[in-house]
Amino acid sequence: MPSSLTGKRVLVTGATGSFGKLFIDRLLNQTQVSSVVAFSRDELKQFEMQAEFLSPKLEFVLGDVRDFSRILQVTKDVDVVIHAAAMKQIPASESNPMEAIKTNVLGAENIVNAAIANQVEKVVALSTDKAANPANLYGATKLCSDKLMIAGNYLSNKSTTSFAVVRYGNVLGSRGSVIPFFQKCAASGKIPITDFRMTRFWLTLNQGVSLVLTAIESMRGGEIFVPKIPSFKVTDVARIVAPGIPTYEIGIRPGEKLHEVMITEDDSHYTRDYGDYYVILSPQLINSAEYEESSNRVKEGFTYRSDTNELWFDDESFIKLLRDNKILLEE
């Protein structure tokens, strides 16, 4: 566990989401943080979460990342911010574009400005594969958020506040995961697949939390951390979670990609390989001696895509992952 969190006060935005709850659980049980602030705008979810978490170190605060004055208040005396709050549903973002912009872009700007004003030590923001070469408004807003976070390092001159981003793909077991949807559709006797060729990266919530903890420990400011995780065809996911149930193709929806991309060819010029994960550096960091000593540059023209990924699940490894995380029950 990150020693850099010992004695620190940590604020988590979007704290009542799937990631936020597990991240806070890890903080309270596996680190020596002094306190944790759970920040979100849903009072019912906070009420329900309070019944699960009885730690005296945990505080619940209502508010919205769109509200700068509130963000300025809650970041006072905070050492580390984990920014997980976002509007994430692609169709909702497409039909309500300004709402997505207010939350994902202006909300990120508020976090950056408040963190600098209150001299927060570190900020780590959660991103998504959809921010790389975005094909929909959600991805575009998250790309803007990533850019704002990285630019925060120049605004603060990294004298007091450092900013980094963690980017990853589909999270097994999170709200909105395709697996519960497939299991629900199985009851009707058929499962819709947008395109039979579709591939995705897959990781667990625990892996996502671990990468964020790694980022907190190793960040210098200006990095986008990207995990090395296996790919798997969506049709194979359906076959495993709903065996024997036929699938049918309905066509790719607006803004949906056939394959996921987490590092584009343009990003490859600034990307370094750390063994278990990649780091996309801001251009000002790419020639830094400390990065030269601790990692390797990727090859020119490198891309990190779910269809050309070197790591793939087979049936056995995917089933084991699902069972280990209690997403699929033992037979």
pLDDT at 214 over 80: yes
Q: Active-site residue numbers?
A: 130
- The string of pLDDT tens digits covering residues 24-73 is 999 999 999 999 999 999 999 999 999 999 899 999 999 999 999 999 99
All domains of the chain in start order, with CATH: 3-324 (3.40.50.720)
- The string of pLDDT tens digits covering residues 155-195 is 987 678 999 999 998 888 676 678 888 988 988 899 999 99
- The string of pLDDT tens digits covering residues 102-111 is 999 999 999 9
In angstroms, the CA 313 to CA 229 distance is 9
- SS3 string, 246-281, reads CEEECCCCCCCCCCCEEECCCHHHHEEECCCEEEEE
Q: Give the per-residue pLDDT at 178.
A: 85
Q: What is the mean pLDDT of the chain?
A: 92
259 backbone dihedrals φ, ψ, rounded to 5°:
-135, 150
- The string of pLDDT tens digits covering residues 286-321 is 767 777 777 889 998 999 999 999 999 999 999 999
What confidence category does residue 327 fall into, taking pLDDT thresholds of 50, 70 and 90? confident
